[in-house]
Amino acid sequence: MFNPETNLVNISNEEYKQYAQHMILEHVGLQGQKRIKKGKILIIGAGGLGCPALLYLTASGIGLIGIIDNDEISYSNLNRQILYNHKNIKNKKVLAAKKQLQEINPKCKIITHLYYLNKKNSTEIIKYYDIIIDATDNFQTRYIIDQICYKLHKIHIYGGIEEFEGQVAILNYKSGIRYSNIYCEDKYLQNNNCNRHGVLGITSGFIGILQATEALKIILGINQVTNNCVLLCNLLNTCLKQKKIYISSKTPFIKNNLTSEKQILSNKKIILQQNIEDKKYIIFDIRNKHEFKHKHIKTSINIPLKYFKLKKTINFIKNHCQDNITLGIYCNTSNKSLIASHILDNNQIKNFIIKAKRIN
């Protein structure tokens, strides 16, 4: 838990004026602003999620912020990475971000880590900060963050986006859930980055601000923290839902014999994609429509996973599929296939998973 010593923290006359609207709030006040100033936050990734989080955390008066990234700014970043402009193209993100943030709050110390996080440098970097905000877009880095935050007892705030949807979770907080409890570490998982699926810029802004908000609530000691659940956001429907994550006391974490997705798959009937073309099965492709249109198994039916969960979809399947027909589930990520297969299992519908061709 974040519990800083604030007796030696001074708030200047200039800061009193700057944060006056904070200090009249019941949950902040003078002591709360001192706690904010004492906070040390690391943002891993200075992209679509990192930029809005950095902007608001810097403006709120955080005393020290670290930024780690080694990417250069490109034109495709400008729709959502709001710290940058056309003049910054081909510059390093962390350097452009630091310059912009120091204009907003010169009293905030900005530390730049001009490289990517990896297993060799992660412990040395993360141990220096109180809260770690994961603003990355790849599973490999997320699992490194998960393992090191658990090892060092650091609070980890995860955010993810795709198209018009996003999710946020507070992890490793008060002996709560970890990232590996939400997404089991599995070599078959594929990264859903913005270049692949696209994203509305406002989506990344919304999720990044939520991550920053949760960080400030933890620093201020506010109890209404989104703990042990994932906050699911859909901007098309303007919908927010909390999904509670339950962990059995008998269920260990990663590196302690966690039942991996590969082990779960071993209990399911699996047929390789290259062996499915000539078989007479009903195949449901649960990917998004644009992925299905780009390439799909002949005769397969496209029902995206978000619709697959609906009761009317299950009723449709039951009404149009004979009892002696087995259904195939296809997706290029095995975790989504498992979700769809589990839904069918719960409705007593025979099914198998079609394993996608590996891309080397």
- pLDDT tens column, 137-152: 888 999 999 999 999 9
CA–CA dist 20, 14 (Å, integer): 10
CA–CA dist 172, 174 (Å, integer): 7
**Band of pLDDT at residue 192, cut at 50, 70 and 90:** low
Spell out the residues 6+ positions from residue 295 whose beta carbon is closer than 8 angstroms to its own: none
Q: What is the pLDDT of residues 233-276, one digit of tens each?
A: 999 889 999 988 877 543 333 333 333 444 444 455 677 766 66
pLDDT greater than 60 at residue 6: yes
**Band of pLDDT at residue 322, cut at 50, 70 and 90:** low
CA–CA dist 41, 22 (Å, integer): 19
pLDDT greater than 70 at residue 115: yes
CA–CA dist 37, 31 (Å, integer): 10
C-beta separation of 219 from 213 below 8 A: no
C-beta separation of 314 from 351 below 8 A: no
- Residue given tokens 């087995």 in the structure block: 326
Residue ranges and CATH numbers for the domains of the chain are 39-244 (3.40.50.720), 268-355 (3.40.250.10)
Q: Are strands 165-171 and 229-234 parallel, antiparallel or unpaired?
A: antiparallel
Q: Is 111 helix (H, G, I), strand (E, B) or coil?
A: strand
Please report the pLDDT score of residue 12 as a whole number: 93
339-342-348 Cα angle (round to 5): 150
**Band of pLDDT at residue 186, cut at 50, 70 and 90:** low
Neighbours of 73 (CB within 10 A): 24
Looking at per-residue pLDDT, the higher value among 156 and 180 belongs to: 156
pLDDT greater than 70 at residue 20: yes
CA–CA dist 196, 23 (Å, integer): 43
Mean pLDDT of the chain: 85
Q: Are strands 40-44 and 165-171 parallel, antiparallel or unpaired?
A: unpaired
**Band of pLDDT at residue 191, cut at 50, 70 and 90:** low
pTM of the model: 0.71
**Band of pLDDT at residue 188, cut at 50, 70 and 90:** very low
Q: What is the largest CA-CA distance in the chain?
A: 77
Please report the pLDDT score of residue 324 as a whole number: 65
Comparing 250-259, 279-288, 348-357, the range with the smallest average pLDDT is 250-259
Comparing 68-82, 227-241, 254-268, 282-296, the range with the smallest average pLDDT is 254-268
Q: What is the pLDDT of residues 153-165, one digit of tens each?
A: 999 999 999 889 9
Q: Are strands 40-44 and 64-68 parallel, antiparallel or unpaired?
A: parallel
C-beta separation of 207 from 271 below 8 A: no
Looking at per-residue pLDDT, the higher value among 90 and 225 belongs to: 90
Please report the pLDDT score of residue 1 as a whole number: 54
Please report the pLDDT score of residue 208 as a whole number: 97
Please report the pLDDT score of residue 72 as a whole number: 96
Looking at per-residue pLDDT, the higher value among 138 and 134 belongs to: 134
Q: What is the dihedral of CA 296, 298, 304, 309, to 10 degrees?
A: -140
**Band of pLDDT at residue 215, cut at 50, 70 and 90:** very high
- Residue given tokens 């996080």 in the structure block: 117
Please report the pLDDT score of residue 254 as a whole number: 32
